[in-house]
Structure 1
């Protein structure tokens, strides 16, 4: 259904001309932009899973085809239930594309995930061409009114629009969104965001038969559906509603915001202007106010869509916001409204600087990376003042410039910076980060609009244009070089984390991640690992995760006392830290503090009910304290929660074996082999039980299967020899002992048994 606004364009479509006639053909421009976007970040295609990728992709059970598809819509971005402990990032469409990646590649192969991200960024960049042309080409909207496809596929693109899009395509601030797989959320959101905007504009330019600016409810509603898809890709997708509203007011309705507040009197030569009426309406609408009815209809749809999405989102979150700790976003915990506002503005200044000069790029800006401002004498207030000076200058030009095109284009540029950034601003709600480059993905479009518009304004003469072209080309070259360098950093976790030490040396998380990934590498220096963990704790004395990891290393080094102190501190800081409670139990047991160990394990299970490793360790504690039935129950609980937990199966078999319950131990072993048919330790334990029960043939069969699975299993060869020895098959026993000694010449049991066998053979 199309509703005409009631005013005709002054020219026929065949007579409409735009400033793009001297520009570039639309298709080649899109191809160049797409290729530039891809080439800038293509060197990240063979990168690893780094940083948040491990939780969002590698450890996310929602990617597995065995997980019901509906689980994606019941879990958060990390595959966790949307409960009180969730970050409540609800992005089911993004997780769905991860699942498709997993299915198509047949597993977790990072290159496939990276290639999709790179291609998506190319598509986003190409889709922005018509968006930038709508804003920077003052007559392009009329062409869209007269052509059904022009809005999506411009025939020609002005040089300014092309350069603006090219600047977006190569901006280094996009590296995190493109090279980091979790950045898929920003890329998908951007695609639906842009399509929603273009469809909305199409819905306002739909009456082709009468060459009128019209309102098509079908297109507007379709735009809101795309807005919903953008929001379910990433939360900030809802902000496209604000962008649509701003464009509607400025370009569709041609309302002059400055004139509404009487600021037109401040414009140079305002008394001679006839473009804009004093009430903020264009002259063509001075005597025709029917437009007001239709702009109200469109904005009612926008408002209703926003309210519905917010309501759904609130219900999904369980009607409560996520909870964040001080170290996640210390600036939002600063005492005093004034100081907190100053801290927020300082963060805005850093975000603005990253857009202008992306030399400071870091995978994480929390935990001391940006110290809080706690005094009005802090010299960093200069950055806040500089930010507001720029903001006021931009506001002056947006409202008071004599040129209507300048006012509209710059206002839309500012809107593109601010509106998509609002969810990350801490103004609406507390966010769980200090600065995140990925949230600037869409906001950078506004920065590109302002820069490109400045290029156009500077190109007033031929000489000035030459200087502007050289300057813009230099900027592009710098950005391309920086993007290529930065995307190379994201290929490897250790390189990424070490690069952060140059930007945020005071960030405890940087040192934590360096220590963690170094510990996972072959040949990693233990001294460096410990040093980085200790430095992380020095920088952030309440860093419970660093304490937990460092305690595990010290425990393995025999420094149980030091590990005990760290874990005691960690659980004091985070009473619900299940892993710390479990590790504390292990350390307490090693120190023979059995009651404290049992209490720690039970606290860990209180914090995390599904915790098979904890049940396993609790079972070991009960074995040490001779509580056999409790130990068996604990091992069985572990196997119920994780049927593939072979350590628990194995220890349960050994426990029953030691108690002389051979029949029960054999049944336990058979149950384990149904789940783990080729687990050598379980096979070995079962074979021993059968041998003790004098079930020679069955024991032989299981021993031989163990050796088939693991030919270098010394114990299997040795005990098979013992089995044959007891069975009276002395030649076979000799072969078993010889094989065991061949694998381990210093095996004392094998030597003793072999010598005993030789004596028996001589005697016979």
Structure 2
């Protein structure tokens, strides 16, 4: 087996610690990150999943948990979300021990689970980096690989985890991740011994049972079977896919490939068959449990999946992937809800946002190439980083079925492990390559870790109340009608009716005005006031081309509408300054006191003067 300490491990800016101290350090960092949320309220989805969940009523038979979905609705109902997580719901009964529905007990348990999961990540990362010999060698040397410790620290302090830890409904992700880890580590235990081609059937069975438990906590748990399969192929069988492909396609040494095939068929085929059979059985059972078929989601939940053009549907899915990747790379713009206009659809191949998905695939292809061509220790780390990044995310990718969200930070909980492993590898690899700047790079890694800890503490504080949570989303998703509605509702619940009305109106404008306006035009197709209102709504949603069409149609019917000319401010936002100037001047000619037009016109003139100076 490969030594658990890769050649670049000594470049990691951490001291050598024993297994116990390493776990305590990671757990402590996890605690510091999220301790702010321990005294938080029930916020957002917590009310539906806990306070209004009839399955948590002491008078309801416990057996109902196995018949209903996560929210307490009957699985056979067409309105059910089909999220079958009975073991997670069972843990919500911890309130019986506390003597009532007090949120502090729920939050403390969530924080504790994250601490345990983060500490266990050391074992997962160490096994992926160093192979099955890692545990024994770590005991012999008295310390764990520093690379696995750094990756676990990054995992413990990643801000995108806040929703899963500080939001009580995130317990589904925490429990799923815990049993995901246990299933993987149990699978690895099946091969403890001198000969990797012999394995313990008992430990394989334990791993499969833990996979089923993970799936009963959250559906994403089944993806551990894919990780186990890849680990078996690349580590247990020590199969070099790059070398095998090179022999077959370049050197065309089919005989060598057949020899490899004969060798791996002794145990690998049996194990992969067990994984495939168990996975198929779990999926079949899950399908039967859903009863009436998959859940029915609306266009508001996932607009990209309703796009008629297949090309644009694929483009938007990939755009969503790039946004998820951005949340992992730069978790500063976090929001409790990303639906209802928060992420406008890409509607043409000329949309500049396509650059992001092209960049995503360029980076992925570059990482895959690096994983194939790197030395053995680097290849393993990078490969499994990508495996952990991609495979747990597949259920949320829209590839196999439509999901009921645009972006959900909680589904990235397990994928973050892959990202953190790649990040630790990248940092140590850069230190190894640019030795002159080693101390600077090490300081940058520690600074990033510190920034993440601070961001986690700040974000977990925002999750302590609905007011702070909803208000924090206004700057991230100003076009999200649900954000405005929730801010308004929270203000109304606290007696501030006048302030609530403002947010309610904005929510209605964003969510319904477009639909209402288009329906009204079917009845009154020549009404320029309806066209004018609809154009304003579309402009706020940054649908400039469509907004322009309605503005111009309104002006054809009533060319002397000063307000219509003045509201063609969209040309200003769109960068068409000359057209904006023309319509501002027409508006002021028709009505010199047109509200806001003078201010916009003066601002435009300054921009035009600046453009002329730059051109000169």
Distance (Å, rounded) in 1 between the aligned partners of 2:308 and 2:365: 28
Choose from 96, 99, 104 the match for 1:106: 99
Q: Tell me the residue number matched to 1:310.
A: 283
237, 245, 254: which one pairs with 1:253?
Answer: 237
Correspondence for 2:160: 173
Going from structure 1 to structure 2, the CA distance change for 1:104 and 1:264 (only over 3 Å counts) comes to farther
Number of the residue aligned with 2:502: 531
| Aligned counterpart, 2:534 | none
Which of 406, 428, 436 pairs up with 2:378?
A: 406
- Deviation of 1:136 after TM superposition, in Å, equals 2.1
Matched, 1:518 2:487: no
Q: For residue 455 of structure 1, what is the aligned residue in structure 2?
A: 427
Equivalent-residue separation in structure 1 for 2:114 and 2:338 (angstroms): 24
Q: Is the 8 A contact 1:90 1:232 kept in 2?
A: yes
Unpaired segments ≥5 residues, structure 1: 1-8, 11-15, 272-276, 545-764
- Report the counterpart of residue 421 of structure 1 in structure 2: 393
Secondary structure of 2:198's aligned partner: strand
Matching residue of 2:18: 25
Task: State whether residues 64 and 102 of structure 1, in contact with CA within 8 Å, keep that contact through their aligned partners in structure 2.
Answer: no
CA deviation string 1:140-166 (max 9, x = no partner): 42345x69xx79x99521111111100
Partner of 1:430: 402
**Structure 1 residue 182 and structure 2 residue 169: aligned?**
yes
For the structure 1 residues 113 and 287, does the alpha-carbon distance in structure 2 shift closer, same or farther, using more than 3 Å as the test?
A: closer
Map 1:67-106 to 2 at 5 A. 67-82=60-75, 83-99=77-93, 101-106=94-99
CA contact under 8 A between 2:114 and 2:174: conserved in structure 1?
yes
Displacement of 1:261: 2.7
Over 3 Å counting, the alpha-carbon distance change for 1:291 and 1:261 in structure 2 is closer
Partner of 1:292: 265
User: Residue deviations 1:698-728, cap 9 Å, x none?
Assistant: xxxxxxxxxxxxxxxxxxxxxxxxxxxxxxx
Question: Which of the pair has the greater relative contact order for Cα pairs under 8 Å at 6+ separation?
Answer: 2
Q: Report 1:129-208 matches (<5 A).
A: 129-137=122-130, 140-144=131-135, 155-203=142-190, 205-206=191-192, 208=193
Rounded Cα–Cα distance in structure 1 between residues aligned with 2:259 and 2:105: 57
| Structure 2 match to 1:118 | 111
Distance change >3 Å, CA 122–CA 247, structure 1 → 2: same
CA change 1:264–1:514 in 2 (3 A) is: farther
Distance change in 2, residues 1:435/1:287 (3 Å): closer
Q: 1:278 to 1:200 in 2, by over 3 A?
A: farther
**Residues 259 and 279 of structure 1 are in contact (CA less than 8 Å); yes or no, is this contact kept in structure 2?**
no
Pair 1:364 & 2:334 matched = no
Aligned residue number for residue 352 of structure 1: 325
Q: SS of 2:388's equivalent?
A: helix
Contact 2:248 2:254 survives alignment (8 Å)? no
Instruction: Name the structure 2 match of 1:467.
Output: 440
Distance 1:36 1:281 in 2: 49
Structure 2 gap ranges (5+): 516-616
1:584-607 residue CA offsets vs partner (Å, 9 max, x unmatched): xxxxxxxxxxxxxxxxxxxxxxxx
Mapped partners of 2:479, 2:18: distance in 1: 50
Kept after mapping to 2: 8 A contact 1:537/1:543: no
For residue 346 of structure 1, report the CA deviation from its aligned partner.
0.4
Match of 2:543 in 1: none
Say whether 1:390 aligns with 2:377. Answer: no
Distance 1:54 1:384, change over 3 A: same
How far has the Cα of 1:466 moved from its partner? 1.5
Structure having the higher Rg: 1
Counterpart mapping for 1:702-721 below 5 A: none
What is the CA deviation profile of residues 486-527 of structure 1, one whole-angstrom value per residue up to 9, with x for unaligned ones?
000000001100100010000000011111122211xx3212
Pair 1:281–1:357, CA change in 2 (3 A)? farther
Q: 1:442 to 1:413 in 2, by over 3 A?
A: same
1:373 pairs with 322, 342, 346, which one?
346
CA distance, structure 1, for counterparts of residue 349 and residue 4 of structure 2: 55
1:421 match: secondary structure:
helix
Question: Closer, same or farther in 2 for the Cα pair 1:301/1:367, shift >3 Å?
Answer: same
Aligned residues: 507
Within-5 A mapping of 1:653-672: none
Query: How far apart in 1 are the matches of 2:391 and 2:402?
Result: 17
Does structure 1 residue 228 correspond to structure 2 residue 215?
no
Structure 1 residue 234: deviation in Å? Answer: 0.5
C-alpha distance in 2 between matches for 1:349 and 1:320: 30
Contact 1:37 1:170 in 2 (8 A): yes
Q: Which residue of 2 aligns with 1:329?
A: 302
Alpha-carbon displacement from aligned partner over 1:381-423 (angstroms, at most 9, x marks no partner): 1111111111111121122x14122222212111111110011
Is 1:215 matched up with 2:209? Answer: no
SS at match of 2:80: coil
Give SS of 1:351's match.
Answer: helix
Residue 18 of structure 1 and its aligned partner are, at CA, apart by 4.8
Cα distance in 2 for partners of 1:358, 1:258 equals 34
**Deviation by residue 1:669-720 (Cα, 9 ceiling, x = unmatched):** xxxxxxxxxxxxxxxxxxxxxxxxxxxxxxxxxxxxxxxxxxxxxxxxxxxx
User: Residues 281 and 330 (structure 1 numbering): CA distance in 2 closer, same or farther, change over 3 Å?
Assistant: farther
What is the TM-score with the length of structure 2 in the denominator?
0.78
Superposed displacement of residue 320, structure 1: 0.5
User: CA shift at 1:211, angstroms?
Assistant: 5.5
Residues 541-592 of structure 1: CA deviation (Å, up to 9, x unaligned) = 1899xxxxxxxxxxxxxxxxxxxxxxxxxxxxxxxxxxxxxxxxxxxxxxxx
SS of 1:502 mapped into structure 2: coil
Residue by residue, what CA displacement relative to the aligned partner does 1:62-82 show, whole Å, maximum 9, x if unpaired?
112221111001000001111
Q: How far apart in 2 are the matches of 1:322 and 1:543?
A: 26
Output the CA distance in 1 between the equivalents of 2:476 and 2:451.
19
Query: Any idea what the Cα deviations from partners look like across 1:439-493, whole Å, max 9, x if unmatched?
Result: 0000000100101011221222654431221010011011011101100000000
